Chains A and B, each alone.
Chain A
Amino acid sequence: MSELTKKTKKPRSMTQQRRLGIIIRWVIAVFLIFFSVFPLLWIISASLNPTGTLATARLIPQNPGFKNFQDLVGNPTFPFFRWFWNSVKITTITTILTLSLTTMAAYAFSRFRFAGRTTMLKAILLIQVFPNLLSIVALFLILTQFGNIIPSLGLNTHLGLIIVYLGGAMGMNIWLMKGYMDTIPRDIDESAHVDGASDWQIFWRLILPLLRPILVVIGILSFIGTYGDFIVARTLLKTTELYTIMVGLQIYTSGMFSQKWGIFAAGALISALPIMVIYLVLQDQIVGGLTQGAVKG
């Protein structure tokens, strides 16, 4: 188990050996923690530093205050809370729709046997491997043409962005969901069938409540993935007002980067916080979902 302790040559009692091992490992851990936490500490400190430029930033700011956070409110060139709201709106709608599409499709894959079932499962897995950035020219074109006919569905609209995201709804998630459903015994639905329940009733009343844990995992992974998307939103949205938070934050840092550092830090902290809290609270569930094969996107 602990290779390090084995290396000490002198014979010692087990407890002494163990204690030394723990000390050495904690010393290493301190370095690791420093590496891991440093950017976070740095951004917290920058957000509290009233001078607000990168050049004057130091780890413990003089006269810390909340000036940067106040500057985020009502800033006409950088409508931060507008972006934040856009992100929350787009991400929530996408996540809910993704969950419904995924769950229903997974139910069919898990409970029915039909021609082409395995082929479709494999195809779905293969297609979602390709990043949609690679075919962004085509996505761009589709939305441009849609927008010519129905402007609210075109380029530079939230609705357009959401439907593009939905193209990726049926992916790895279906496999996770189907795998979980397969573990729910089919006797349950068979006996319900005998009692005269329709497929929809079985799905809605019986299966769905049992899916709660996996719904949470897929919901969170999908939420985090969509919330963190940068390049699709950046390519399809043109108006500052319509930006998502990730596109907006990137704009903050381009150009007069070092001057806006404080405000950027405050904004970054606010936008990262919800996700961090979700992760740290639900880490065990998320890790369970992750190790089944999904890579952070």
Chain B
Amino acid sequence: MDSSRERLSKTAKKVHFELSAILRFALLAVADIGLIWFITQLMINGFFEVAVVLIIIVIFNTYVFLAPKAYPLRWMAVGLSALLLFAIFPIIYTSYVAFTNYGDGHLLTKVQALDQIQRELYLPEEGRAFEWIAYRSEDGEYLLWIKDAAGNTNLARQTDADEEDHILEVIPGENGIGELDEAGAPVAIEGFTRLNRILATTDTNLTRIKFGDPEKTIQVRSPSEAAELLPRYLYNEDEDTFTDQVTGIVYFERQGTYTSQQGRTLTPGFRAGVGFENFENFLTNPALRGPLAIILTWNFAFAFLSVFLTFALGLAISILYGDPNFPGKKILRSLLIIPYTIPSLITILIWRGILNENIGIVNTVLRDLINFSPNWTTNQWWAKAAVLIVNLWLGYPYFMLVTSGALQSIPSDIYEAAEVDGARGWNKFWNITLPLLLVAVGPLLIASFIYNFNNFNLIYVFIQGGPPIPGASTRAGYTDILISYVYNLAFEGGRGVNYGFASAISIVIFIFIALMALAQFKFTNMWEEVSENV
């Protein structure tokens, strides 16, 4: 009886196991096929970096879901894939961009840039010539009839005309073409007037218009001749140079730009490695170094003062109202926690209204009371004060919550022992409370420092980094911190975006953060905890 039940349950388990295995294989196959199609498409479009990451993800997932050894990883395969694609790869990619000149003038890949330069055409003095006759429509569009030396005729539309075909056969009855004269040119075309010699030579537009398509472009060279345009720059693949067919100047590749010996350049340039140039710029270029020094100093001061002020106020509150018997404690905490409960972006916008220099409530009241109104947005010191005040408002509830928890965890017998030894008020605070508290909340202080070091929302939304630093070569302001400065460089540069330089600064920020984070982890002993954990 017993053994048969056992056998039955074993069979059921086996069936269940096989079913789930089949399901797993099927899902994996579908996902892999989809991803491989996607990767192929990426490759075709020339997006190799992202394609490589996805190939890694496909291999990783296939391995994890097939190999029994990797079983635990199945539980986190999707999350790890997302982490790789949207957190790790962007960091690696940013590091790569930091060593290139990616930005305005260098946005394209080399293949794309070569293609564009080779499309540049010129009108040769020599070369294939055509007889021509022009036709003009009411609204100033032109058609050009051409006849080459062999006697072949064609009708060419303007290159910029919004039509499918730009070079047409001359067949009467098609495309509104009327009868042909003895030379083979249409006597009339529907909607167009045939220009006689005098009209055609006096029409100044005509010599400037390009006819035909990119493969065969024709331009009028003289009253009697039209000619096919030729590529202006000839590419030499072995030496990676361009030769100008008009002047004979040779352009060599220099850090993503084709440059002649005289220093003339071809556009567009392309993305190319520039070594440490962005980092050197960071240190040596006076136009960049000036604002950067100001920004860096303020960045550290801002982060430090923010942490210090929010921590001090938060701690003061939890000491003042820490007494569990304090009447109305619960309601007080609910009221004081309010800044924390509103999404910070919204309150930053509200503060922008409150501290508006001309019509904000604070300045209106101050003007009435003491006839003085601070320039919150135009004076750099008041602007810095305003940012700190708003950040104090935003940040103190967090430390109020954290420190009140930590204070309760300090055993009361320590205080009793200290009182026996004669310690009183402030003494007790400096020698017992604060050191013990700092051990408990130290990691949170570092985390808060990191957070404020990169507090982009506050700086950018509240004041846009302003007031502007005069003489800065890129957009920079007195309250800008590194991250908002980077954002301006990358996305809002009025004088062109510079991803390369922005990424170089990002790398510097990465390093700062990494160092602080490591300090934080050391502090918490989090890492030891993991290793010991059974």
Contacts and interface: CB of A to CB of B under 8 A. Distances in A.
A246 interface: yes
Contacts of A287: 401, 405
B413 interface: no
Given A2-B323, A283-B334, A293-B447, A228 B38 contact: no
A90 interface: no
B24 to A, nearest CB: 11
15 contacts: A29-B332, A39-B350, A57-B361, A118-B531, A122-B521, A122-B530, A124-B83, A131-B456, A138-B89, A149-B41, A167-B86, A257-B352, A279-B340, A290-B401, A291-B401
A168 interface: yes
A276 B451 contact: no
Interface string A274-297: 011001100100010011010111
B205 to A, nearest CB: 38
B86 A133 contact: no
A139 B524 contact: no
Interface of B: 9, 13, 16, 38, 41-42, 45, 47, 50, 70-76, 78-80, 82-83, 85-91, 93-94, 97, 317, 319-323, 326-328, 332-347, 349-354, 356, 359-361, 393, 397-398, 401-402, 405-406, 424-426, 429, 443-444, 447-448, 450-451, 454, 456-457, 460-461, 483, 486-487, 490-491, 499, 502-503, 506, 509-510, 513-514, 517-518, 521, 524, 526-527, 530-531, 533
A258 B359 contact: yes
A3 interface: yes
Contacts of A224: 343
A9 to B, nearest CB: 13
A148 B350 contact: no
Nearest to B97: A137
A32 B317 contact: yes
Interface stretch (A67-75, A78-86, A104-112, A210-218): A104-112
Contacts of A296: 340, 344, 398, 451
Interface in A18-77: 22, 25-26, 28-29, 32-33, 35-40, 42-43, 46, 54-55, 57-59
Given A22-B327, A287-B405, A291-B402, A134 B94 contact: yes
A54 B359 contact: yes
B86 A275 contact: no
Which of A37, A137, A139 has the largest count of B CB atoms less than 10 A from its CB?
A137
A139 B88 CA distance: 11
B342 A40 contact: yes
Nearest to B457: A230
A86 B334 CA distance: 30
A268 B350 contact: yes
Interface of A: 1-4, 6-7, 22, 25-26, 28-29, 32-33, 35-40, 42-43, 46, 54-55, 57-59, 101-102, 104-105, 107-109, 112, 114, 117-118, 121-122, 124-139, 141-142, 145-146, 148-150, 163-164, 166-170, 175, 182, 196, 198, 224, 227-228, 230-231, 235, 246, 249-250, 253, 257-258, 261, 264-265, 268, 271-272, 275-276, 279-280, 283, 287, 290-291, 293, 295-297
B88 A127 contact: yes
Given A124-B83, A134-B486, A296-B398, A55 B76 contact: no
For the complex of A and B, list the 6 residue pairs with the smallest distance between their C-beta atoms, beginning with the closest: A167-B86, A135-B90, A105-B76, A138-B90, A108-B75, A279-B341
Contact of A3 (B88, B429, B527): B429
B405 to A, nearest CB: 5
Given A32-B317, A295-B451, A6 B79 contact: no
B353 A257 contact: yes
A275 B38 CA distance: 39
B91 to A, nearest CB: 5
A258 B338 contact: no
B442 to A, nearest CB: 11
Given A138-B90, A293-B443, A133 B343 contact: no
Contacts of B451: 295-297
Contacts of A102: 79
A235 B531 CA distance: 40
A175 B491 CA distance: 34
Given A33-B335, A291-B405, A170 B346 contact: no
Nearest to A235: B491
A107 B88 CA distance: 23
Contact of B346 (A35, A42, A272): A272
Contact of A167 (B75, B87, B406, B447): B87
A167 B85 contact: yes
Nearest to A229: B345
Given A122-B521, A275-B342, A296-B398, 16 more contacts: A22-B327, A36-B393, A54-B353, A57-B353, A112-B72, A118-B530, A129-B450, A132-B87, A132-B90, A137-B490, A137-B503, A228-B345, A235-B491, A268-B346, A283-B334, A287-B405
